[in-house]
Amino acid sequence: MKAVILFYSTNQAIWAENELKSHELSCRLISVPRHLSSDCGYCVQIDAEDKEKATDILTANKIEFEKIEIL
């Protein structure tokens, strides 16, 4: 099962991708699924089981995100 982390800005999404990868978390940038947002940018897809770990990493680095949605 996958999850996506939504951000207010694509800049934050790329920053998050950078940090998650440096912690060896499997992730990739994808276009934001239309049913989740009307925005035109991208989000970070992770394995749903990594949700808590990803939250910890983002919080520790003060990377703001909107929410994490299980797909």
Partner 1 sequence: MLKDRTEGGVIYFDNAATSFPKPQCVSEAVMHYMTKIGANPGRSGHKMSVEAGRIVFKARKSIAALFGLRNPMRVIFTSNATEALNMAILGVLEKGDHAITSSMEHNSTIRPLHEMEKKGIISLSIIQADKTGILDPDKIRKAIRANTKAIIINHASNVVGCIQPIREIGKICRENGVIFIVDCAQSAGIVPIDIDQDNIDILAFAGHKALYGPTGTGGMVIADRFDFKRIKPLKYGGTGSLSDKIEQPDFLPDRFESGTLNVAGLSGLLAGSEYIRHRDGGIERILEHKTELQKYFIQKAEMLVEDFCCFSSAQLPSTGVVAFKLNKFSVSEIAQILSDEYGIMCRQGLHCSPLAHQTIGTFPEGTLRFGFSIFNNKEEIDFAVQALKSISEGKQT
**Residue numbers at the binding site for partner 1 (CB under 8 A):** 8-15, 18, 29-32, 38-42, 62, 64
Residue with smaller CB distance to partner 1, 30 or 49: 30
- Write the CB contacts of 8 (distance below 8 Å, at least 6 apart in sequence): 64, 65, 66
CA distance 60 to 41: 24
Min separation Cβ 70 and partner 1, Å: 20
For residue 70 the two structure tokens come to: 């299980």
Residue with smaller CB distance to partner 1, 56 or 60: 60
Min separation Cβ 42 and partner 1, Å: 4
Angle at 55 between CA 13 and CA 44, to 5 degrees: 30
Min separation Cβ 66 and partner 1, Å: 10
